[in-house]
Amino acid sequence: MDKRGIGVFDSGLGGLTVLKEIKKILPNEDLVYFGDTARVPYGPRSKETIMKYTFQAINFLLTKDVKAIVIACNTATARSLVEAQEKYDIPIIGVIEAGARTAAASTKNGKVGIIGTEGTIKSKAYNAEIKKIDKRIKVYGKACSLFVPIVEEGWANTEVARLTAKEYLKELEEKDVDSIVLGCTHYPLLKRTIGEEVGMEVKLVNPARETAIDLKNILIEKNLLNTKEELGECNYFVSDINEKFPSIAREFLKSKIEVEKVEIQRY
* Residues of each annotated binding site for substrate: 10-11, 42-43, 74-75, 185-186
So which residues are the catalytic ones?
Answer: 73, 184
Closer CB to a copy of itself, 122 or 216, in the complex:
122
Is residue 226 a contact point for a copy of itself (CB under 8 A)? no
One of 25, 82, 90, 146 touching a copy of itself (CB under 8 A)? 146
Of residues 29 through 58, those in contact with a copy of itself by CB under 8 A are 37-39, 44-46, 48-49
CA distance 121 to 126: 8
Stretch of 86-94, 144-152, 170-178, 198-206 lying at the interface with a copy of itself (CB under 8 A):
144-152
Q: Which of these segments, 59-67, 115-123, 202-210, 212-220, binds a copy of itself (CB under 8 A)?
A: 115-123
For CA atoms 44, 50, 56, 58, the dihedral sign is positive
Query: By CB under 8 A, which span of 23-31, 65-73, 149-157, 207-215 interacts with a copy of itself?
Result: 149-157
- Angle, helices 245-253 vs 16-25, to 10°: value is 40
Q: Coil, helix or strand for 7?
A: strand
Of 128, 220, 231, 241, the one binding a copy of itself (CB under 8 A) is 241
Q: Binding mask 154-183 vs a copy of itself (x if CB under 8 A, - otherwise)?
A: -x--xxx--xx--x----------------
- Neighbouring C-beta atoms of residue 224, cutoff 10 Å: 19
Cβ atoms of 116 and 141 closer than 8 Å: yes
> Of the two residues 117 and 206, which places its CB atom closer to a copy of itself in the complex?
117
CA 90 – CA 88 distance, rounded (Å)? 6
Cα 227 to Cα 22, 64, 93, 101, 171, distances in angstroms: 15, 20, 21, 28, 47
Give the residue numbers of the binding site: 10-11, 42-43, 74-75, 185-186
Reference 43, options 19, 16, 74; nearest CA is: 74
CA dist list (Å): 259 to 35, 165, 262: 10, 32, 10
Site for a copy of itself in 244-263 (CB under 8 A): 244
By the rule CB under 8 A, 79 interacts with a copy of itself? no
Task: Give least dist CB 40 to a copy of itself, A.
Answer: 8
Closest distance between a copy of itself and the C-beta of residue 213, in Å? 33
Give 28's contacts (C-beta < 8 A, 6+ positions apart): 226, 227, 228, 229, 230, 231, 232
Q: How far apart are CA 98 and CA 209, in angstroms?
A: 8
Q: Which stretch, 81-89, 169-177, 222-230, 234-242, contacts a copy of itself (CB under 8 A)?
A: 234-242
Q: How far is the CB of 101 from a copy of itself (least distance, A)?
A: 28
Angle in degrees, 0-180, between the axes of helices 96-106 and 207-221, rounded to the nearest 10: 120
Paired with 116 in beta bridges are: 143
Residues that bind a copy of itself (CB under 8 A): 37-39, 44-46, 48-49, 118-119, 122, 145-146, 148-150, 152-153, 155, 158-160, 163-164, 167, 239-244, 265
